[in-house]
Amino acid sequence: MRNYDLDFLKRFSLVIGFLTLVTVGLIVGSYFVHKSLPGEVDPGVAQRTANRIAPVGAVYAGDTGAAAQAAAAAAAAASAAAQVAYGGTLDGSVIYNNLCAGCHTSGAGGAPKMVTAEWTARIAQGADTLHRHAIEGFTGAAGMMPAKGGNPALTDEQVVATVDWMVENLQ
């Protein structure tokens, strides 16, 4: 071999060695960078975090703000209406048949049955007392009445309408 061939092999070996060191350095560097990045966040956790830090209210200004405020009020009213029992009906027979009949048909818990004789003393106390006991609940010697018949989604108006229907339909 000639001198210039040996000289080429020496320099080529140095370049290959240098490139190998650079490659190993890049591999080690990428390993440490990868370890320092946070892992992927579970979508459920991200959603709970977003709900937790969401603003409580909003600021509305001008005509656009008034429209957004009206839309928000309509959405809140629709949401509240959806939470009212039995679609918000004031038909006492519907509420009685779906809720009250369970106790007032069998007399469970001392509930008076739909017979005039069992209601005479209660009716003598007045409609306001009947309404208050049905709305707030009552525990007495004769038995107990859970507030709103045990369904807190009933409105006071629904309870009053149902009590009035029951009194009107005693046998």
The whole-model pTM stands at 0.52
Indicate whether 95 belongs to any domain. Answer: yes
Phi, psi of 61 (to 5 degrees): -140, 145
Indicate whether 69 belongs to any domain. Answer: no
CATH number of the domain that residue 149 is part of: 1.10.760.10
Q: How many residues does the chain have?
A: 171
Q: Which tens digits make up the pLDDT trace of 16-69?
A: 999 999 999 999 999 999 888 877 888 899 899 998 998 887 776 767 677 777
Indicate whether 59 belongs to any domain. Answer: no
Indicate whether 61 belongs to any domain. Answer: no
The Cα 11–Cα 17 span in angstroms is 10
Report the domain count for the chain: 2
Indicate whether 121 belongs to any domain. Answer: yes
Residues 25 and 96 grouped into a single domain: no
Residues 96 and 162 grouped into a single domain: yes
Indicate whether 37 belongs to any domain. Answer: no
Banded pLDDT at 80 (limits 50, 70, 90):
low
In 41-154, which ranges are E strands? 138-139, 144-145
Task: Tell me if 67 sits within 8 A of 73, measured CB to CB.
Answer: no
**Which range of residues forms the domain containing residue 10?**
1-30
Indicate whether 104 belongs to any domain. Answer: yes
Place of tokens 């038995």: 143
Greater model confidence, 116 or 87:
116
Residue 111 CB neighbours (<10 A): 20
Greater model confidence, 154 or 13:
13
Residues 164 and 92 grouped into a single domain: yes
Banded pLDDT at 82 (limits 50, 70, 90):
low
Indicate whether 92 belongs to any domain. Answer: yes
The Cα 134–Cα 145 span in angstroms is 7
Banded pLDDT at 74 (limits 50, 70, 90):
confident
In the chain, which ranges are E strands? 138-139, 144-145
The Cα 114–Cα 129 span in angstroms is 18
